[in-house]
Amino acid sequence: MDYACPHCKRPVRADAAGLRCPACGKTYPIADGIPDFLGEDLARSADPELRRMRFIDRMARIYETPLWYPIVLKLFGGLRSPTPADLIRIAAADVRGVEGRVLDVACGPGTFGRRVASPLLAVFGIDVSMGMLRQGAAYAAQEGVSERFARARVEALPFEDAVFDAVLCCGSLHLFTDTLVALREIARVMKPHAVLSTFTFGAGRGGLLRFRRMREWYRRNHGLHVFDLSELEADLSLAGLSDFRPRLDGSILTFSARKGAAGEIYRSGACS
């Protein structure tokens, strides 16, 4: 499968400069084999969501070590939070039996995508951090895993409509400025009945995030969105995603949802 222009969603073609969109004329460079559909420096971005990510490149090397996820999960989610291995098992269970293509949204170094890749399931990872993507490509090469990485943001995915059989969004939904915009773009690239598997933060009973004032402070100062279930289910529904199956462990929320058939999405759009 080829990438598509994130602006006009038409397939792009390789040329000497990288990938070019024949429809709108935009060109996207390729660095170290990784197409860059974002094309901006995070530190200089006018978008606060991207600017908040400006240090993320430097974290690529520690991201899969005990210095990151185990600490973050326990601190924010509480002592009963799932471990990173638990979260990988949950995501793998959500996509078990799925064949075709899976999109790993905000994939980091492919922490989740690399673990579900198989000869029957091709993984495409996107992230805004070139440092994370390079690290992911290095891990994948070492492990003999095939995952294709591209630099892009969730709000403008470089894929045509309805091309993925599953989507992973693990550890990032709480970072997106507008959850509904992100979910709508994710749903756009999902085939009917495709599954979305997510882990994020929920307003639960563990860790720092059990305190309402702490949740408000993180939202205000760091753009961190801690979901309550009814609000999230409403956004999923508006995006055309149903069969919401949430689970809260401490303040760590894992859930799956499915894209409705085309007719169901049309009806939900007509009512909104």
User: Who's near 108: CB < 8 A, 6+ residues apart?
Assistant: 60, 63, 127, 129, 132, 136, 171
Asked whether the beta carbons of 108 and 129 are under 8 A apart, the reply is yes
| Interface segment toward Zn ion; rule CB under 5 A; list 24-32, 102-110, 132-140, 141-149 | 24-32
Structure tokens at 183: 């979910």
Provide the minimum distance between the beta carbon of 26 and Zn ion in the complex, in angstroms, as a whole number: 5
Using the rule CB under 5 A, which residue among 24, 62, 67, 261 binds Zn ion?
24
As a whole number of angstroms, the distance between CA 100 and CA 167 comes to: 11
Provide the minimum distance between the beta carbon of 161 and Zn ion in the complex, in angstroms, as a whole number: 14
Q: Angle of helix 84-94 relative to helix 69-77, nearest 10 degrees?
A: 90
Provide the minimum distance between the beta carbon of 4 and Zn ion in the complex, in angstroms, as a whole number: 8
| Interface segment toward Zn ion; rule CB under 5 A; list 7-15, 83-91, 240-248, 262-270 | 7-15
* Residue with Cβ nearer Zn ion (23 or 238): 23
| Interface segment toward Zn ion; rule CB under 5 A; list 8-16, 167-175, 183-191, 213-221 | 8-16
Instruction: Tell the burial category of 71 from Cβ atoms under 10 Å away from its Cβ (0-12, 13-18, 19+).
Output: exposed
Contact between 21 and Zn ion by CB under 5 A: the answer reads yes
Q: Which of residues 196-225 bind Zn ion (CB under 5 A)?
A: none
Alpha helices, DSSP H, located in the chain: 48-51, 69-77, 84-94, 113-116, 130-143, 179-189, 212-222, 229-238, 262-271
Provide the minimum distance between the beta carbon of 159 and Zn ion in the complex, in angstroms, as a whole number: 13
* Residue with Cβ nearer Zn ion (2 or 243): 2
Contact between 23 and Zn ion by CB under 5 A: the answer reads yes
Using the rule CB under 5 A, which residue among 1, 2, 8, 93 binds Zn ion?
8
User: Who's near 93: CB < 8 A, 6+ residues apart?
Assistant: none
Instruction: By CB under 5 A, name the binding residues for Zn ion.
Output: 5, 7-8, 21, 23-24
